[in-house]
């Protein structure tokens, strides 16, 4: 490979440092904006350095593809609402996986035809790894997008022997990859490897329910990063190796954090079909519940000294984050201390609730992680739950027979009064009833979260300070 120009070497070095700093700063809400800016500057430097490589013969198609990518990326960023960030993230992973898979495929056939000596055992092994992960990330992320967008059923799609079929396909893909590594010029098997990777990506996501999407998004992010790192070895690009490794390792660590937050293993998330028994429980209508009007809820909130707001996916669906900000402002003006409890897997992607509340300019210091808010709930007057289900279900602590037993939850049941905004008494994605809804201290506030909170805000504003 031709020696890199000095500007390219310096830009790659700076970009690598910025990528590391970006991950560091993105780990805290107060520095997240700085982290995003560092990542953007690092990527701009990486692209600029790459465009100066002496190997480039013509810029025509590079410019065309940059324009096409820009034409797609800008509308995705500006037109997609913040509530659809999980879907946009899944699409981004899909595009990344497709790009990696196509580059690996192109390199294999180009070298097989023009320079077979370059297809060493190591090189073809890395190409197979890159193509396998890239294409399964492509179709798997498209499936995740379909589930998040509710174009596909959000609950697990299962059939008898499903795990055996999935693992058999993956094993067959690995066998082909090993064979190609030993006999690199057996090009007739390469399309089969691609087809198996594409099929496995679809089948991998089918049995995964909506409640597991935060973990799946993080895992697909890890796959995309690892495949990009492999592409760096193929292209002999050190920056791509570094960036892919950072992406892959951080995504994997985040997946582990998500699994711990649900007290679940990777195998249970990927092959457990969690939530498939939804709606099999009946009789919830026969159990007594207490409900309240917006005016009654406003009175209770105004009489409280401390309020904990616990958001969930229902807040995202209703796009209620700005109404939540109005409620926060009204209560704090009246001297009520308001804090937010954020469960790690609330929503459909890691940090989903943080993103939505940040969009509504909720102060960062009011957003508490699960352990922090749990330490305060026993002396909290009101816990207001907005569209959260399984992450506040006390069955996770008390019912050994519950499928979510052992999952760490936000212990809203410790508050003196609990109010839950929900459209209906339907269970969450785990498909089980929540005993919290039937406690004497609990009031159910039925309705759309955005509308109901708006009515509470009006009721508070109508009262004299």
Phi and psi torsions of 344, nearest 5°: -60, -30
Q: Which residues pair with 369 in a beta bridge?
A: 342
Rounded Cα–Cα distance for residues 51 and 5 (Å): 11
Output the CA–CA distances (angstroms, integers) from residue 6 to 38, 50, 340, 350, 408, in the order listed: 22, 12, 50, 39, 52
Rounded Cα–Cα distance for residues 347 and 213 (Å): 8
Q: Which residues pair with 306 in a beta bridge?
A: 337
Where are the strands (E) in 312-409, listed by range? 337-342, 367-369, 382-386
**Is 390 among the residues known to form the active site?**
yes
Buried b (16+ CB within 10 A) or exposed e, 56-92: eeeeeeeeeeeeeeeeeeeeeeeeeeebbbbbbbbbb
Q: Which of 212, 247, 390, 413 is catalytic?
A: 390
Phi and psi torsions of 119, nearest 5°: -85, 70
**Residues whose CB is less than 8 angstroms from the CB of residue 62 and which lie 6 or more positions away in sequence, other chains included:** 51, 56
Buried b (16+ CB within 10 A) or exposed e, 339-349: bbbbbbbbbbb
Catalytic residues: 390
């Amino acid at each position: 490979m031709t020696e890199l120009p000095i500007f390219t070497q310096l830009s790659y070095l700076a970009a690598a440092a910025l990528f590391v700093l970006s991950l560091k700063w993105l780990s805290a809400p107060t520095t997240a904006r700085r982290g995003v800016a560092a990542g953007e500057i690092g990527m701009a430097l990486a692209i600029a350095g790459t465009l100066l490589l002496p190997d480039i013969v013509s810029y025509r198609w590079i410019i065309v593809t940059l324009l096409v990518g820009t034409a797609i990326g800008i509308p995705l960023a500006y037109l997609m609402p913040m509530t659809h960030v999980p879907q946009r993230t899944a699409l981004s992973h899909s595009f990344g996986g497709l790009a990696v898979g196509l580059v690996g495929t192109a390199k294999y056939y180009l070298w097989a035809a023009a320079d077979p000596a370059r297809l060493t055992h190591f090189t073809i092994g890395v190409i197979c790894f890159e193509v396998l992960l890239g294409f399964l990330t492509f179709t798997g992320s498209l499936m995740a997008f379909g589930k998040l967008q509710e174009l596909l059923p959000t609950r697990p799609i299962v059939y008898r022997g499903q795990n055996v079929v999935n693992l058999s396909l993956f094993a067959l893909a690995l066998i082909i990859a090993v064979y190609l590594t030993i006999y690199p010029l057996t090009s007739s098997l390469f399309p089969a490897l691609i087809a198996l990777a594409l099929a496995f990506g679809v089948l991998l996501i089918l049995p995964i329910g909506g409640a597991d999407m935060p973990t799946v998004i993080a895992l697909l992010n890890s796959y995309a990063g690892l495949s990009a790192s492999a592409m760096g070895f193929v292209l002999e690009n050190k920056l791509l190796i570094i960036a892919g490794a950072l992406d892959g390792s951080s995504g994997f660590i985040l997946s582990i954090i998500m699994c711990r937050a649900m007290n679940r293993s990777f195998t249970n998330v990927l092959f457990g079909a969690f939530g498939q028994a939804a709606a099999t429980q009946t009789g919830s209508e026969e159990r007594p519940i207490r409900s309240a009007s917006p005016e009654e809820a406003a009175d209770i909130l105004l009489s409280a000294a401390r309020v904990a707001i616990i958001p969930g996916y229902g807040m995202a669906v209703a796009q209620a984050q700005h109404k939540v900000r109005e409620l926060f402002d009204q209560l704090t003006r009246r001297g009520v201390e308001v804090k937010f409890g954020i469960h790690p897997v609330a929503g459909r992607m890691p940090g989903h609730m943080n993103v939505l509340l940040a969009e509504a300019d909720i102060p960062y210091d009011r957003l508490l992680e699960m352990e922090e808010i749990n330490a305060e709930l026993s002396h909290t007057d009101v816990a207001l739950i907005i569209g959260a289900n399984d992450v506040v279900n006390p069955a996770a602590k008390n019912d050994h027979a519950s499928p979510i037993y052992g999952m760490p939850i936000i212990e809203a049941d410790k508050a003196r009064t609990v109010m839950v905004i929900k459209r209906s008494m339907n269970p969450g994605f785990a498909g089980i009833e929540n005993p919290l809804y039937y406690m004497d201290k609990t009031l159910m506030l039925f309705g759309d979260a955005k509308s109901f909170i708006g009515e509470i805000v009006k009721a508070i504003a109508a009262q004299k300070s």
